[in-house]
Structure 1
């Protein structure tokens, strides 16, 4: 056996350079690079290995561990899970900072390799800097917290353990049915320990991702279910996008006159202007999609997890009559809603079904077009909302008085409505631009209103809806496709949570455009509390003497070196967007928008916890309403 002497960290880097993926006849490296924030736990091990010989790996210095990890997630998501970045952190707080990101990757089924440093395997210097001491076990470290948020987890305490661990990690990350984060914790002393590795371990390794075809039994059952239905509806999930099923979805929908509705992850699999695409489904969905869902007698869920937002907490469909046909590479997901299960690739399954359904046509007739036209009229109205200081009727009603809205207009020096701003942006940016968002009221506005003209240009992290993903993720999206403009939609709340990778984008000349909607508060949650009987409590950004805060966020970004704009009118916003296109560095456009001017829900319901005992009559009423609505909801 021929061997090569390497440290554990050097072996890791050498192995990462030799991992390839094979998809639809194309073969390319699977690992693009590695994000890092160096600390004492990884700088002398992985840091030394990368300095000595990084191979083809791009080495990117993050500014915050969670931020750079979110960038890695966004990169993989935008690359349709076909390429990844690894993420290296020090031990202790450096590792802990990544746990939130690991959960984000897990909830969204995104492959990322996390490599947090760990305490000493030898235990000689224990307790080391940043090590916790548990009385019940000396073996427990911060990195045990990765267990529930990883698809694969391991701890390396000997150099030779790395080999079997990496093979398992890459098997998980390249399997479409269980793709997600793999975490390999490496003891900091072991990172630098040398071992004679078998050279065969470092030979080029190709991970084949073959499209799983449906079984004949599955096809027969699916055909029977569809032919028995009068009004089938397709719910397009993220799995359909990762399967690159656009053409197959369009062909199926057109031939059989079946409407498409989308989850956040599925949006932009098919362009918004496709005649049968009724847009977002559920709590943040369109009126057209939600009406069609109520009428449907067969729901064909393609690559979807059926989250509460997509199903309106299991009230979106007529469960008394509707049946379900689930097509998914994850067997677990196909079991939901007592569905007929097809455990297979989305595109392959649709292509196999189309000839088997020849002669079939749904009973939707012209109804799809009517629903779409009705929604487009509403969308147009939302793009023309203008504030007035008397008798203004906001989209979110019966929360703030006219006096309070006027107070915001004065304090923020704006009369700009959020929906007007968003649709102005949609009309102004290039059609092949990618938009990214994650949390707050903006995901709802985007799913309802944003028209995606180009496939895979709508990037929403709504599995974990993690505040702070927006700007970090924009960097990852830009790395995935440097030729296109990227627009990060972020509220002031999420901006305050995390925006460190804006600096990284400037450092590495990866231009991103930050669109900051500032309504001086956590507007989405303020809506939620007031919708359920509470007053406006601790969600507005007010000073101790109750003054609305007006923060100059543009000045913050300007201090980092970004090109900044302030736009509180439609005219200023258009001008800023046009000028931002000409820049070659990251930009930030700060918009002061009025609260309560985001979109509201359309024929949907969200089951959230409401106090069952309260001195407030309005809270009691909200609880009664929730209990009544639960009687209509499917229990499982």
Structure 2
């Protein structure tokens, strides 16, 4: 039997029937669709979404609900936030017209793929028949007729296909679902849909629209490699666990806690892995690397065996390959992706994080690091917590420090509430200072560190977890990049609390510019001075609170720490749509240091004395970098 539908209608009906299953629990794979319509998708996917909505019985949600986006990049960020909050088991689709709508999604697609988070992109495309070419917004290539602007999405997508004919749709859809549900391959998935093909009718086999459940597997580690990993950990004098995002996505936090408590091995966390242990667990050392804590980095410098779990070992995690300073250090990498498991010449345990931890715990039964090791972990973590407490209450005047804003927010937020951030100086301060109590309570996007991610992602997180309060921390620079999804939050009555930290410029890059001898050049929002001709005049009269209010959000202005606390409490108690809390801070009030390095090259020759001094410091730090190439069988404590 067949069903006669357009390509757009078949696409929507298919997506409404896709589910994931892991550990016996099922949920929708594509829970809804964001869309901005233009001539490239309004008559195809747009008409199909309308028909799906009208087909739903009165009072029930359609199989594929639709939400109006305001910016195509923002839609993708919202889908990413939704997917991360769903532990990659559910996501959203995003449909756009051809041209600027489609290319606006490139940044969001790159963010999704870098962070290994599934999103489905459905951009319209040029006419497959070419009878009307060149059409509006078509980029003509003199070398070929089969390229469109959507090809810009190829390098940032984990799967890309263009559906030139209706007959190609089933294979494209199945390929897309395969990648979306594969923890190793997942990322942005793009199905480019020529606008004439979207509206073309075809006779589809009924089985295409039957309920389909995609099992998300938990691969187990290979036995011999597991034994070798256990031997390395048993022989280690100073082992360390580095927990990455894979621990949280695979719901392995309980397994990690039990492993740490049984073996006594302390745990440091990457940005994506923060929350793998509660901040006050006796074996929790906090963030590691360039944005980490002194406790975690002290253990890292002495570690002879490092067990990395679900981490891709970014430069911030390793402090640009300088923080693991023991000349005999070896790596054991438990990761579902072989690409990451083999990094740093490590012993590759290619497996699901939870299953790998359970197997390692069994293989290490009876092994314990001992009282001295456990005591040192508790002592260094307690010393760092005193640093955090001091940063929360530094009493900076006349404007508060950013660390005080974080402290007040941490105090007001509930144990299951979510804090969101992505760019600027706040990811570093949050990684070091945020006291995480729930595995999904910390949501900092630091794979792409994309300015403008925060508000849109906050919307997606709230949609995925309506029982949690969502606090979006955003600097003024990032707010100006992309605040438009506040309107979507207003329209959908989605409560997110957006804290605008106004410091009149780019605090993070200002500090970085100063550290490389560039004197905070171009990092402040200032008028151009008539005398000097430089951007060092008076502060710009920009009122972001008024801007947010004009978009329909409730706005609370706070002057100082106590007013901020009152505003946050009021915002948390509110219901309905988004609440924006505006507070000014001093961009020069730095937080505590991680005692670790980040490799940012400094000009090798310069007239500026500040740059020459920064280069000398850079050359000194560069000597601490390590290749991490030593074979497991050679030298040191692991032979």
TM-score over 0.5 for the alignment? yes
Q: What CA distance in whole angstroms lies between the structure 2 residues aligned with 1:488 and 1:36?
A: 23
The yes-or-no answer on 1:539 pairing with 2:534 is no
Cα distance change on mapping 1:27 and 1:387 into 2, 3 Å: closer
User: Among 73, 76, 90, which residue is 1:69 paired with?
Assistant: 76
Q: Distance in 2 between matches of 1:309 and 1:629?
A: 15
Aligned residue number for residue 551 of structure 1: 542
Distance (Å, rounded) in 1 between the aligned partners of 2:474 and 2:316: 20
Alpha-carbon distance in structure 1 between the residues aligned to 2:241 and 2:407 = 27
Please name the residue that 1:588 is paired with. Answer: 580
Deviations 1:153-202 (A, max 9, x none): 11111111111011111111101111111101010111001111111222
What is the alpha-carbon distance in structure 2 between the residues aligned to residue 186 and residue 559 of structure 1? 36
Question: Are 1:487 and 2:471 matched, yes or no?
Answer: yes
C-alpha distance in 2 between matches for 1:276 and 1:577:
31
Identify the residue that residue 634 of structure 1 maps to in structure 2. Answer: 626
Separation in 2 of the partners of 1:93 and 1:415? Answer: 41
1:601-621 deviation digits (Å, cap 9, x = unpaired)? 322111112212221232123
Partners of 2:52 and 2:64 within 8 A in 1: no
- After alignment, is 428-437 or 543-552 more displaced? 543-552
Do 1:564 and 1:589's aligned partners in 2 also have CA atoms closer than 8 Å?
A: yes
CA distance in 2, matches of 1:112, 1:96: 15
Matched position secondary structure for 2:240: strand
CA distance in structure 2 between the aligned counterparts of 1:333 and 1:57, rounded to whole angstroms = 35
Equivalent pair of 2:27/2:89 in contact (CA under 8 Å): no
Specify the alignment match of 1:41 in structure 2.
40
Could you tell which deviates more after superposition, 215-224 or 336-345?
A: 215-224
| Alignment of structure 1 residues 16-415 onto 2, 5 Å | 16-54=15-53, 55-362=62-369, 364-388=373-397, 414-415=398-399
CA contact (8 A) 1:297 1:318 kept: no
Are residues 268 and 360 of structure 1, via their aligned partners in 2, closer, same or farther at CA, if it must alter by over 3 Å? same
Deviation at 1:319, TM superposition (A): 4.9
CA deviation after TM superposition for structure 1 residue 151, in Å: 0.4
Residue in 1 aligned with 2:553? 562
Give the drift of 1:582: 2.2
Separation of aligned partners in 1, 2:280 and 2:15: 41
CA distance in structure 1 between the aligned counterparts of 2:264 and 2:25, rounded to whole angstroms: 33
Give the match's secondary structure for 2:321. Answer: coil
- Tell me how far apart the structure 2 counterparts of residues 218 and 166 of structure 1 sit (CA, whole Å): 37
Question: Alignment length, in residue pairs?
Answer: 610
- Give the 3-state SS of the residue equivalent to 1:482 in structure 2: coil
Shift of 1:550: 4.3
Distance in 1 between residues matched to 2:122 and 2:309, nearest whole Å: 33
Measure, in 2, the Cα distance between the counterparts of 1:467 and 1:456: 21
Q: Which residue of 2 aligns with 1:447?
A: 431
Tell whether the 8 Å contact from 1:283 to 1:604 is kept in structure 2 after alignment.
Answer: yes
What is the aligned counterpart of 2:598 among 596, 606, 622?
606
Secondary structure of the corresponding residue to residue 365 of structure 1: helix
Does the 8 Å CA contact 1:9/1:191 hold for their aligned counterparts? yes
User: Structure 1's 164 and 565: CA in aligned 2 closer, same or farther, altered over 3 A?
Assistant: same
Name the SS of the counterpart of 2:443 in structure 1.
Answer: strand
Deviations 1:110-145 (Å, cap 9, x if unpaired)? Answer: 011101111111111111111111222222211111
Q: Distance in 1 between matches of 2:153 and 2:587?
A: 38
Contact 2:303 2:326 in 1 (8 A): no
The range that moved more, 593-602 or 330-339, is 593-602
Q: Cα deviation per residue 1:185-240 (whole Å; 9 max; x = unaligned)?
A: 01011100111111122221111112111111121111111111111111000011
User: 2: CA distance between counterparts of 1:173 and 1:478?
Assistant: 21
Structure 1 residue 272: deviation in Å? 1.2
1:471 aligns with 2:455: yes
Question: Does the CA contact (< 8 Å) of 1:328 and 1:343 recur in 2?
Answer: yes
- Cα distance in 1 for residues equivalent to 2:541 and 2:301: 43
Gaps spanning 5+ residues in structure 2: where? 54-61, 530-536, 629-639
Q: Secondary structure at the match of 1:218?
A: helix
For residues 287 and 335 of structure 1, the distance between their equivalents in structure 2, rounded to whole angstroms, comes to 27
Structure 1 consecutive aligned stretches of length 4 or more whose deviation exceeds 3 Å: none
Gaps of 5+ in 1: 389-413
Distance of 1:605 and 1:35 partners within structure 2: 40
Instruction: Provide the secondary structure at the position in 1 that maps to 2:580.
Output: strand
Deviations 1:235-271 (A, max 9, x none): 0000111111111111111111111111110011221
Question: 2:637 aligns to what?
Answer: none
The reply to whether residue 615 of structure 1 matches residue 607 of structure 2 is yes
Would you say the 8 A contact 1:441–1:598 is kept in 2?
A: no
Provide the TM-score with structure 1 as the length reference.
Answer: 0.94
Task: Please list, as runs of the form range in 1=range in 2, the aligned pairs for 1:493-504 lying within 5 A after superposition.
Answer: 493-504=477-488
Q: SS of the residue aligned with 1:472?
A: helix
Using the alignment, how far apart are the partners of 2:621 and 2:143 within structure 1?
Answer: 46
Aligned partners of 1:344 and 1:191: how far apart in 2? 40
Q: Is the 8 A contact 2:270 2:287 kept in 1?
A: yes
RMSD between superposed Cα atoms in Å:
1.2
**Greater CA drift, 553-562 or 231-240:** 553-562
The Cα of 1:494 is off from its aligned counterpart by 0.2
| In 1: Cα distance, 2:593 partner to 2:157 partner | 34
Is contact 1:319–1:634 with CA below 8 Å preserved after alignment?
Answer: no
Please state how far the C-alpha of 1:420 moved relative to its aligned partner. 1.2
